Amino acid sequence: MANKTQRTLMALKDSKERITNFEEVALGYTLEEAMAEANRCLECKNKPCVSGCPVAIDIPKFIHEIKAGNLEKAFEVLSEYTSLPAVCGRVCPQETQCEALCVRGLKGEPVAIGALERFVADSHNGILKTVPSETKGIKTAVIGSGPAGLSCAGTLARLGYDVTIFEALHETGGVLRYGIPEFRLPKAIVDREINALKKLGVKIEKNVVIGRSLDLKDLEDDGFKAIFIGTGAGLPRFMNIEGENLLGVYSANEFLTRINLMKAYEAKSDTPLYLGSNVAVVGGGNVAMDAARSAKRLGAAHVYLIYRRSEEEMPARREEVEHAKEEGIEFKFLCNPLEILGNENQYVSGIKCIDMALGDVDQNNRRRPHEVEGSEHIIAVDNVIMSIGTMANPLIKTLGIDINHQGLIETNEVGQTSNLSVYAGGDAVSGAATVINAMGKGKQCAYEIHNEFMSKREA
């Protein structure tokens, strides 16, 4: 690696082999590779990269420790800022965050910060030697066990609070468990993070739906002094086109949940998933990539990814798009569905699309697509997977806290809702966003809760 303009590449599984299973695609650095990559970091005084990280990890500081081969120290640095380094190192959109601002990127490739973060986390058992502060005996509740809830719970526990997580499903992890597939984020990593929380004394009550099984008042009556809500993005959107309720049309959430949470691809699982040999995925985000690549792994011969703008506008991470291409996903850019067609048994038989062209720039600075007259065409498919975003969960309305016109929870800048002992963060507040954003908000709320108690104690 004499040429310091190029980053150390991470080994990938061969694309032909990887579409036959759900094993992780990116294999991670060896110690030598990590040290070589760490040595590319200039340890800039003004740390431009740090301002690109939503939780402001002291990036040159942890990389400095890798250079010295001191991985325990490096992990401690990371842990000051993030409770899910093994996850964020894998799924953060680094290229638009920390790495986008790396000085190395000016004349070559930025330092592979995410890959290094992953390396440090993977070489560690995830359990910090430092003991939490003394227990305060104050009960706090965390609703939802996605990244927002997990990081809030972890931070509160370290600060000495008595924490209980309430999770609606039979498994913890939120999107980390049921959304992001094994080949991008092995579930063993999610398990490890959750075990680390349990070691801190965090209690987890699964199969409890807040708003139905218990409401906020019950938690308050039960002695919970502060509550954090991290219930995630909510329901999938549909296009409202003809044929969307035919058999074989799934939302990406349903499709991925059947695979990841219910393990529909394993023989021992009872949850069915009916997938034909030709599959269309509609959308252009990470979720669409995950659905398309999962369909390929389940044996679909052709997987078409239908996106109404061009490749440049696609919101998915570059890396995911590259991996999808290597795996044979067939991209249909500038193409928009008009109707889903069905056979006599009401199963999907095709999707009718129209070509699009890019017109003027809209207020979000993206060129607005418009239909090309007379370009309608039909793609023969057996399944359609809709992956065009989410809308707020109607259950939120029953909680008795203020919501905005989109149905998302309203909070002030420190994460407090209209009920002052209730905080909220993550996708339930922002709408579908990122793991690191959710994690950052969970942690911020934990500190706010702590400050609130400290100031009360002093007063």
Contacting residues toward ligand SF4, per CB under 6 A: 41-44, 47-49, 53, 55, 57, 59-60, 82, 88-89, 92, 94, 97-98, 102-104, 111, 113-114, 117, 436
CB of 2 to another protein, least distance (A): 46
Report which of 230, 367, 271 is spatially closest to residue 311, judged by C-alpha positions. Answer: 367
DSSP 47-92: -GGGGGSTT---HHHHHHHHHTT-HHHHHHHHHHH-S-HHHHHHHS
Q: Which residues between 412 and 431 bind ligand FAD (CB under 6 A)?
A: 426-428
Report which of 177, 101, 180, 98 is spatially closest to residue 145, judged by C-alpha positions. Answer: 177
Please tell me the distance from the alpha carbon of residue 205 to that of residue 197, in angstroms, as a whole number: 13
User: Out of ligand SF4, another protein, ligand FAD, none, which partner does residue 207 contact, by CB within 5 to 8 A per kind?
Assistant: another protein
Q: Binding another protein by CB under 8 A: which of 257, 383, 416, 417?
A: 257
Please tell me the distance from the alpha carbon of residue 114 to that of residue 275, in angstroms, as a whole number: 34
199 touching another protein, by CB under 8 A: yes
404 touching another protein, by CB under 8 A: no
CB of 228 to ligand SF4, least distance (A): 20
Q: Binding ligand FAD by CB under 6 A: which of 120, 175, 335, 379?
A: 175
Q: Which residues between 284 and 303 bind ligand FAD (CB under 6 A)?
A: 286-287, 290
453 touching another protein, by CB under 8 A: no
User: Out of ligand SF4, another protein, ligand FAD, none, which partner does residue 182 contact, by CB within 5 to 8 A per kind?
Assistant: none
Q: CB 197: neighbour CB atoms within 10 A?
A: 24
174 touching ligand FAD, by CB under 6 A: yes
Please tell me the distance from the alpha carbon of residue 147 to that of residue 88, in angstroms, as a whole number: 10
Q: Coil, helix or strand for 380?
A: strand
Which residue, 88 or 273, is less far from ligand SF4 as judged by CB?
A: 88
Helices (H), ranges, 167-267: 175-178, 187-199, 216-221, 252-256
**DSSP secondary structure code for residue 401 in this structure:** S
Burial of 188 (0-12, 13-18, 19+ CB in 10 A): exposed
234 touching another protein, by CB under 8 A: yes
Q: Which residues between 91 and 120 bind ligand FAD (CB under 6 A)?
A: 91-93
217 touching another protein, by CB under 8 A: no
Rounded to 5 degrees, φ, ψ at 398 are -80, -5
Report which of 266, 268, 296 is spatially closest to residue 280, judged by C-alpha positions. Answer: 296
Is the distance from CB of 162 to CB of 135 less than 8 angstroms? yes
User: Out of ligand FAD, ligand SF4, another protein, none, which partner does residue 47 contact, by CB within 5 to 8 A per kind?
Assistant: ligand SF4
Task: Draw the binding track, 182-221, toward ligand FAD (x: CB under 6 A; -: no contact).
Answer: ---------------------------xxx----------
Please tell me the distance from the alpha carbon of residue 437 to that of residue 442, in angstroms, as a whole number: 9
Name the site residues for ligand FAD (rule: CB under 6 A).
91-93, 143-149, 166-169, 174-175, 179-180, 209-211, 230-233, 256, 286-287, 290, 395, 426-428, 432-436, 438
